Amino acid sequence: MSELGGPGGGMTVYIARRLAQAVAVVWAAFTVTFVAVRLLPGDPVDLMLSGTNGFSTPTPEQVAEARARFGFDHPLVQQYVDALLDATHGDFGSSIQTGRPVSSMIAQALPSTLRLGATALVLALVAGTILGLLANLVPVAPLRQGLRSLPAAGISLPSFWVGLMLLQLLSFHWHLFPAFGGGGLRGLFLPACALALPGAALVAQVVGKSLHDSLRRPWADTMRAAGLTPRRLLIAHGLRNAAIPALTVLGLLVGNLIGGAVVVETVFSRPGTGLITQAAVGAQDLPVVQGVVVIAAVGFAAINLLIDLLYPLLDPRLRANTAAVAR
Amino acid sequence: MLAAVRRSLPHRMLSTTAAVAAAAVLASCGSSSTAETAGTDRAGPRSGGTLLIAADADPGCLDPQQTGQLQTLDIVRGLVDSLTGQDPKTGAIVPWLAQSWTVSPDARQFSFVLRSGASFSDRTPVDGQAVKATFDRLAKLPPNGAPAYIKGYTGTAVTDATHVTVSFAQPNSQFLQATSTAGFGILSVATASGPLAERCRGRFVGSGPFVLGSYTPNQGAVLTRRAGYAWPSSRATNKSVAHLNEVRFTFVSEDGARTGALRSGQARVGENIQPSDQSQFDGNGFQLVRMSAPGLAPPLSLNHQGILADEKVRQALLKGIDRAALVSTVFNSSYKPATGVLASTTPGYVDQSAKLAHDPDGAAELLTAAGWLPGKDGIRARDGRRLSLTWLIPAPMPPADEAVQQQLRRIGVDVRLDAVPPAQYVSRQAAGAFDISAVGTTRADPDVLRNIFSTKGSNLWHLAPSPLDDYLQQEVTASDTTTRQIAVTKAVTWILDHADTVPLYENTIVHGVADQVHGLRLTASTQLDLHEAWLE
């Protein structure tokens, strides 16, 4: 992610290379999923035809018809090429379990997950940064120490437990928020909090550490000598320095959110891509798994591409280096 | 039909606030130990209102012909009517869309006389053509759910609008009960030819007291009352439109969230409340609507190949289980130990509790006689091979499984719990790569025996052909109740005498219901009967 530029022509080449890498990531995710789900023992078509007890026996014709419908009667290589070509048009086929087109399943579920993920991301960044700042600003040493160890505790709390606790207290006990229903800001708050918690802890840790280090740099001494208060020093200069590692963490954070959504959407009964993923993996619903993995990979690659492009903007030194290497 | 026999246990009744109310419930439940009705009708049903139900899962498909999932059937039961209904207490088949019927002496032809005046929600009449179209399509679908019960279908002859005859290539006495289920609900002629994926999304037309307002996958389904409905089954107390304006199902798969939603009033009905949470809804403004699920009592299903080909080892497993301890450890008083191959609420049930006594000494003797001698670690062994059995489980693993494992360890049998994803489970079970699986089926008809134990079907547990096949054949050939009961009794006796399965407990459907909800009953097949329900 921090690899810079390459031989060729300036920023354009830098961007082009990053873009190519992003495409490669998505392709690799597609291919690995394609291979992995087929290596699993078990047959999704049998499951669909026989039910979970597995004691209904379909006729060989019914099995053959179902296999043909999903293209499973073709050689693997042809299945792969067909699936890849279709996927480039956003067509992932139909769910084996329900017969619904995967693209429409995802299109219906994605807005809910995006809202949840975006809210959680903002919450994580804001809460994490504030906590990181406080851990360096609070004048009482034991309190400062306590604030510094909070992130470690936050990361180790499983989000299903956090979600259930939030539900118990804020929804079932105090009736402040609905337990389910998906829509509306009020319905979004609790799941976003549960999803944001590990991320907020991660950001707090990185920002806190980075600010802490900033204050020991020679430039900080210079600033202090010039009469800057610690608070101004941290907020005006330290935060900007902490932004670079925070940005790096952001890329990881998006990956965590995609995974965390599976758990949080289950706990809060939200109709998003996480729920679809959970059901599809259990039933080995290949087209659906393929679809959600590719969409997740696209989101992950896009965010990291954006972050790579932001580095030079945030840090003038990186900008100069990029240009120099490119020249 | 065969009579359902119920155990008369002391009443662990719904603790309603008023003693009068409690008495009324007692009266309506008769001698049954399970409460199938919530609420009491003091002032008579009130019309209107929206019933909020927290359901435990999105079934993924709402078409009753394509899936046998209980979550689908709970929603669909309000949307479609069936030819017949079934009395949950006696198991008797009663008129619904069909006002009468006759079964041919060889149990191959079923003639129905339809009532007139019933219509689908698209205004087309419920007639012989619709019955034919419904069954014609059903017979062509993969046997996952309802289609399994129409095997051997040769066609429906429509004499006129109200007379139809359904024929089979072989005797099929279980068909009459099948016609009472939601999976055999009569659909409009246009629906029958509709694309299957569309039907999964709820695009089908029935004649029930509700119509589907909306279905949002992974979120919920809304049913709205149908105006002009007037053709419920003959056992209905409500003879006209549903009392409720609307029913909203929300899919809440997390058990704790479902429980909390019910307790905090965000739902009025919480489906499938877990044993550990049930006590908080037994009173305190709530009631538990519970019913012992009819069908095959959840068992250890034994693969008759490998170690379990030896009948002595199978007998030892049968004796090694302490069913009362199992139920009290893992469940609570809503659940009962198995007392036979069939659950006690199944028509044709035979009390076999004498054959299901816990007898660890007897089990030890049998294992010793079979050559399995106690080893150093407490697990028996023969010729250097440990008595180790693989139990194939579709994930997630139910808590009862570990309790069973511990019980069998005490008689020196090592059970390896192998929980795998459902798709893998189906393939491995089909390939015979297991010693034990656990397949119980919910159906209010003793024909569930044939699905599992006949060597002429899929025979997933590799039973050897035996007189049991003949008994099961007699069961499905019998056109009268007495002959059928004789065959069923012979079959279940043979099954336990040869330890072909190890019944464990009776599965109980337990829904939590707020006291504001009245008249909510369960059908013979354990579905919610929303037509009778009303809100205070």
Among A145-149, B215-219, B347-351, name the most confident range.
Answer: B347-351
Please indicate, yes or no, whether residues A106 and A227 belong to a single structural domain of this protein: yes
The mean pLDDT value of chain A amounts to 84
* Tokens describing residue A141: 């040493």
- State whether A172 and B261 contact (CB < 8 Å): yes
From chain B, pick out residues whose CB is under 8 angstroms from the CB of A268.
Answer: 254, 257
Q: What pLDDT score does B317 carry?
A: 97
Q: Chain B residue closest to A173 (CA)? A: B264
Name the amino acid, one letter, at A72: F
Q: Which of A40, A161, A172 to mutate to test the interface with B (most CBs of B within 10 A)?
A: A172
- The reply to whether B16 falls in a domain is no
Contact B419, B398 (CB under 8 A): no
Q: Is B397 helix (H, G, I), strand (E, B) or coil?
A: coil
Peptide bond into A142 cis (omega under 30): no
Strand partners, B389: B415
Q: What pLDDT score does B33 carry?
A: 36
DSSP assignment of A167-233, as one string?
IIIIIIIS--S-SS---HHHHHHHHHHHHHHHHHHHHHHHHHHHHHHHTTSHHHHHHHHTT--HHHI
- State whether A49 and B142 contact (CB < 8 Å): yes
pLDDT, tens digit (0-9, with 9 covering 90-100), for B176-234: 999 999 999 999 999 988 998 899 999 999 999 999 999 998 889 999 999 999 999 99
Q: How far is B73 from chain A (nearest CA, A)?
A: 15
Q: Is B252 helix (H, G, I), strand (E, B) or coil?
A: coil
pLDDT, tens digit (0-9, with 9 covering 90-100), for A150-185: 888 888 888 888 888 888 888 888 888 888 765 677
Please indicate, yes or no, whether residues B395 and B333 belong to a single structural domain of this protein: yes
Please indicate, yes or no, whether residues B478 and B437 belong to a single structural domain of this protein: yes
Please indicate, yes or no, whether residues B161 and B104 belong to a single structural domain of this protein: yes
pLDDT, tens digit (0-9, with 9 covering 90-100), for B498-511: 999 999 999 999 99
Domain harbouring A113, CATH code: 1.10.3720.10
- State whether B256 and A164 contact (CB < 8 Å): yes
Q: Is B91 helix (H, G, I), strand (E, B) or coil?
A: coil
Q: What pLDDT score does B30 carry?
A: 33
- Give the residue from A252, A232, A235 showing the smallest Cα distance to A243: A235
Label residue B21 by pLDDT band (50, 70, 90).
very low
Label residue B14 by pLDDT band (50, 70, 90).
very low
Interchain CB contact of A276 with B (< 8 Å): yes
Judge whether residue A212 has pLDDT over 90: no
Among A56-65, A203-212, B12-21, B148-157, name the most confident range.
Answer: B148-157
- The reply to whether A131 falls in a domain is yes
pLDDT, tens digit (0-9, with 9 covering 90-100), for B403-460: 999 999 999 999 999 998 888 888 899 889 999 999 988 999 999 999 899 998 889 9
Residues of A (64-93) whose Cβ lies below 8 Å from B: 66
Number of compact structural domains in chain B: 3
Name the amino acid, one letter, at B356: L
Q: Name the residue among A57, A272, A279 with its Cβ closest to that of B458.
A: A57
Please indicate, yes or no, whether residues B497 and B442 belong to a single structural domain of this protein: yes
Judge whether residue B483 has pLDDT over 90: yes
Number of compact structural domains in chain A: 2
- The reply to whether A109 falls in a domain is yes
Domain harbouring B46, CATH code: 3.40.190.10
Name the amino acid, one letter, at B116: S
- The reply to whether A28 falls in a domain is yes
Residues A21-30: contacts with CB under 8 Å, at least 24 apart: A21/A301, A21/A305, A22/A301, A22/A302, A22/A304, A22/A305, A23/A301, A25/A297, A25/A300, A25/A301, A26/A294, A26/A297, A26/A298, A26/A301, A29/A293, A29/A294, A29/A296, A29/A297, A30/A84, A30/A87, A30/A290, A30/A293, A30/A294, A30/A297
Domain harbouring B106, CATH code: 3.90.76.10
- Give the residue from B359, B365, B339 showing the smallest Cα distance to B351: B339
Please indicate, yes or no, whether residues B107 and B229 belong to a single structural domain of this protein: no
A117: left (phi over 0), alpha (psi -120 to 50) or beta: alpha
Please indicate, yes or no, whether residues B317 and B463 belong to a single structural domain of this protein: yes
Judge whether residue B385 has pLDDT over 80: yes
Interchain CB contact of A58 with B (< 8 Å): yes
Sign of CA dihedral A63, A66, A67, A68: positive
- State whether A267 and B254 contact (CB < 8 Å): yes
Query: What is the mean predicted confidence (pLDDT) over A10-27?
Result: 88
Number of Cβ atoms within 10 Å of the Cβ of A173? 12
Contact B262, B277 (CB under 8 A): no
Contact A266, A274 (CB under 8 A): yes
Q: What pLDDT score does A282 carry?
A: 78
What is the rounded distance in angstroms from the CA atom of residue A117 to the CA atom of residue A185?
13
Judge whether residue A16 has pLDDT over 60: yes
- The reply to whether B440 falls in a domain is yes
Last residue of a domain, one of A59, A88, A117: A88
Please indicate, yes or no, whether residues A110 and A81 belong to a single structural domain of this protein: no
DSSP assignment of A79-136, as one string?
HHHHHHHHHHTT---B-TTT--BHHHHHHHHHHHHHHHHHHHHHHHHHHHHHHHHHHH
- The reply to whether B462 falls in a domain is yes
Query: What is the mean predicted confidence (pLDDT) over A254-268?
Result: 88
Please indicate, yes or no, whether residues A14 and A135 belong to a single structural domain of this protein: no
Please indicate, yes or no, whether residues A18 and A153 belong to a single structural domain of this protein: no
Query: What is the mean predicted confidence (pLDDT) over A268-274?
Result: 88
pLDDT, tens digit (0-9, with 9 covering 90-100), for B27-64: 333 333 344 555 554 568 999 999 999 999 888 899 99
Q: How far is A251 from chain B (nearest CA, A)?
A: 29
Name the amino acid, one letter, at B318: L
- State whether B424 and A164 contact (CB < 8 Å): no
Q: What pLDDT score does B366 carry?
A: 97
Please indicate, yes or no, whether residues B40 and B133 belong to a single structural domain of this protein: no
Please indicate, yes or no, whether residues B468 and B367 belong to a single structural domain of this protein: yes
- State whether B458 and A55 contact (CB < 8 Å): yes
Last residue of a domain, one of B192, B227, B259: B192
What is the rounded distance in angstroms from the CA atom of residue A43 to the CA atom of residue A285?
9
- State whether B451 and A51 contact (CB < 8 Å): no
Q: What pLDDT score does A139 carry?
A: 80
From chain A, pick out residues whose CB is under 8 angstroms from the CB of B257.
Answer: 164, 167, 179-180, 267-269
Please indicate, yes or no, whether residues B357 and B336 belong to a single structural domain of this protein: yes
Last residue of a domain, one of A246, A267, A283: A283
ipTM of the complex, rounded to two decimals:
0.82
Q: What pLDDT score does B9 carry?
A: 29
Domain harbouring B376, CATH code: 3.10.105.10
Domain with B471, as residue range(s), is 299-506
Please indicate, yes or no, whether residues B172 and B311 belong to a single structural domain of this protein: no
Please indicate, yes or no, whether residues A35 and A151 belong to a single structural domain of this protein: no
Domain with A71, as residue range(s), is 2-88
Please indicate, yes or no, whether residues A112 and A23 belong to a single structural domain of this protein: no
What is the rounded distance in angstroms from the CA atom of residue A125 to the CA atom of residue B321?
55
Please indicate, yes or no, whether residues A173 and A58 belong to a single structural domain of this protein: no
Please indicate, yes or no, whether residues A152 and A274 belong to a single structural domain of this protein: yes
From chain A, pick out residues whose CB is under 8 angstroms from the CB of B460.
Answer: 54-55
Q: Chain A residue closest to B442 (CA)? A: A53
From chain A, pick out residues whose CB is under 8 angstroms from the CB of B218.
Answer: 109, 271-272, 275-276, 279
- The reply to whether A112 falls in a domain is yes
Q: What pLDDT score does A183 carry?
A: 63
Q: Chain B residue closest to A39 (CA)? A: B424
Please indicate, yes or no, whether residues A16 and A126 belong to a single structural domain of this protein: no
- The reply to whether A95 falls in a domain is no
Q: How far is A153 from chain B (nearest CA, A)?
A: 24
What is the rounded distance in angstroms from the CA atom of residue B384 to the CA atom of residue A74?
47
- The reply to whether B286 falls in a domain is yes
- State whether B253 and A266 contact (CB < 8 Å): yes
Judge whether residue A321 has pLDDT over 90: no
Please indicate, yes or no, whether residues A269 and A121 belong to a single structural domain of this protein: yes
Label residue A292 by pLDDT band (50, 70, 90).
very high
Please indicate, yes or no, whether residues B88 and B148 belong to a single structural domain of this protein: yes
Q: What pLDDT score does A100 carry?
A: 87
Q: Is B45 helix (H, G, I), strand (E, B) or coil?
A: coil
Residues shown for chain A: 327
Judge whether residue B281 has pLDDT over 90: yes
- The reply to whether A320 falls in a domain is no
Number of Cβ atoms within 10 Å of the Cβ of A231? 12
**Comparing A14 with B305, which gets the higher pLDDT?**
B305
Interface contacts A/B by beta carbons within 8 Å? 163
Please indicate, yes or no, whether residues A246 and A121 belong to a single structural domain of this protein: yes
Interchain CB contact of A41 with B (< 8 Å): yes
Contact A194, A157 (CB under 8 A): no
Q: How far is B258 from chain A (nearest CA, A)?
A: 9
Number of Cβ atoms within 10 Å of the Cβ of B186? 27
Query: What is the mean predicted confidence (pLDDT) over B480-494?
Result: 95
Q: Chain A residue closest to B265 (CA)? A: A172
Label residue A54 by pLDDT band (50, 70, 90).
low
Judge whether residue B282 has pLDDT over 80: yes
Judge whether residue A298 has pLDDT over 80: yes
Q: Which of B67, B218, B420 to mutate to test the interface with A (most CBs of A within 10 A)?
A: B218
Q: How far is B185 from chain A (nearest CA, A)?
A: 20
- The reply to whether A290 falls in a domain is no
What is the rounded distance in angstroms from the CA atom of residue B439 to the CA atom of residue B228?
42
Label residue A53 by pLDDT band (50, 70, 90).
low
Q: Chain A residue closest to B202 (CA)? A: A98
Contact B443, B294 (CB under 8 A): yes
Name the amino acid, one letter, at A97: Q
B91: left (phi over 0), alpha (psi -120 to 50) or beta: left
What is the rounded distance in angstroms from the CA atom of residue B406 to the CA atom of residue B395?
19
Q: How far is B264 from chain A (nearest CA, A)?
A: 5
Q: What pLDDT score does B35 carry?
A: 47
- State whether A98 and B427 contact (CB < 8 Å): no
Please indicate, yes or no, whether residues B421 and B466 belong to a single structural domain of this protein: yes
Please indicate, yes or no, whether residues A66 and A191 belong to a single structural domain of this protein: no
What is the rounded distance in angstroms from the CA atom of residue A208 to the CA atom of residue A144?
11
- The reply to whether A302 falls in a domain is no
- State whether A175 and B394 contact (CB < 8 Å): no
Query: What is the mean predicted confidence (pLDDT) over B351-369?
Result: 96
The mean pLDDT value of chain B amounts to 90
User: Residues 6 or more apart from A80 whose CB is under 8 A from it?
Assistant: A31, A34
Q: What pLDDT score does A49 carry?
A: 81
What is the rounded distance in angstroms from the CA atom of residue B282 to the CA atom of residue B302?
37
